[in-house]
Amino acid sequence: MLSYQTGAPGAPLVEVESDTPVPSGTEVLVKTLACGVCHSDIHLHDGGFELGGGKRLEVGREGQVLGHEIYGEVVAVGPDAEGVQVGDRRVVYPWIGCGQCAVCQRGDEHLCTPGRALGIIVNGGFASHVMIPHAKYLFDKGDVADSLAATYACSGLTAYGAIKKLGELAAGDEVVIIGAGG
């Protein structure tokens, strides 16, 4: 498989060829069809977030495969994988937790601190293939255009989360969303 990995902070991504992984258990191998570039990817590539006032939060590491806005096609499934089959095209939910801690057990995997977030902690979509631990992280894009499906895994969730925090809305209510990234 082909991946594009971080080198020194700010340096061009490095093209790396390696064996394509084989799924086991509940794992699902997805061939990347599209992967968005989020502002978080840029910060990770550059090695940190500028916090203002001369402060910087150092993040990222060499050899990291970025990309958490993933849309792809299922190309292989582990023997225990259910609910998905080879040929399915899916949006990948990237905010994967450890699955064991109290935070994950209450359904808030996106808040898990050890976590396994794609493109942040484990290899992401800047590769020809990405391994997903379970089919529950794969979603049908519905009638959304293929070209937009990947970006909805992050910016779409950000907008959706903001709207949900507004509380109950009625038909005809107006909502303004400023910015799209998290």
pTM to 2 decimal places: 0.86
Q: Indicate whether 40 belongs to any domain.
A: yes
Q: pLDDT of 92-134, one tens digit each? A: 999 999 999 999 999 999 899 889 999 999 999 999 999 999 9
E-state strands within 20-168: 28-36, 48-52, 55-58, 69-77, 89-92, 129-132, 138-139
Lowest mean pLDDT among 47-61, 70-84, 92-106, 154-168: 154-168
Q: Residue 182 pLDDT more than 60?
A: no
Mean pLDDT of the chain: 92
Q: Indicate whether 27 belongs to any domain.
A: yes
Q: Considering its fold, how many domains does the chain have in total?
A: 1
Q: Which residues pair with 74 in a beta bridge?
A: 30
Q: Indicate whether 170 belongs to any domain.
A: no
Q: Indicate whether 179 belongs to any domain.
A: no
CB 66 within 8 A of CB 50: no
Q: Indicate whether 180 belongs to any domain.
A: no
Q: Indicate whether 80 belongs to any domain.
A: yes
Distance CA(157)–CA(37), nearest Å, equals: 15
Distance CA(72)–CA(18), nearest Å, equals: 19
Range of the structural domain that residue 110 is part of: 2-165
Q: What CATH number is given to the structural domain containing 88?
A: 3.90.180.10
Predicted pLDDT of residue 124:
97
Predicted pLDDT of residue 181:
58
